[in-house]
Amino acid sequence: MHRSLRGLVAVSLLLAFALPAAALTVGEAAPDFTLRDLEGKEHRLAAYLKAGKTVVLEWFNPGCPFIVKHHQTLKTMNELAAAGAEAGVVWLAINSGAPGKQGHGLELNQQAARDFALAFPLLIDESGAVGKAYAAKTTPHMYVISADGKLRYQGAIDDVPNPGGPVGETNYVATALAELAAGRPVATAETRPYGCNVKYAD
pLDDT (tens digit per residue) in 84-131: 999 999 999 999 999 999 999 999 999 999 999 999 999 999 999 999
CA distance 110 to 93: 13
Q: Sketch the domain layout of the chain as residue ranges.
A: 15-197
In tens, the pLDDT along 37-76 reads: 999 999 999 999 999 999 999 999 999 999 999 999 999 9
The CA distances from residue 2 to 27, 194, 196, in Å, are: 32, 19, 19
The class that CATH gives domain 15-197 is: alpha beta
Q: Identify which has the larger pLDDT, 168 or 179.
A: 179
44 strand-pairing partners: 34
Range 145-169 burial, b when 16+ CB lie within 10 A, else e: bbbebebbbbbbbbebbebeeebbe
The residue type of 159 is D
CA distance 137 to 130: 12
For strand 90-95 and strand 122-124, is the pairing parallel, antiparallel, or unpaired? parallel
Contact 122, 109 (CB under 8 A): yes
Q: In the Cβ-directed half-sphere of 84, how many Cα atoms lie within 13 Å? A: 28
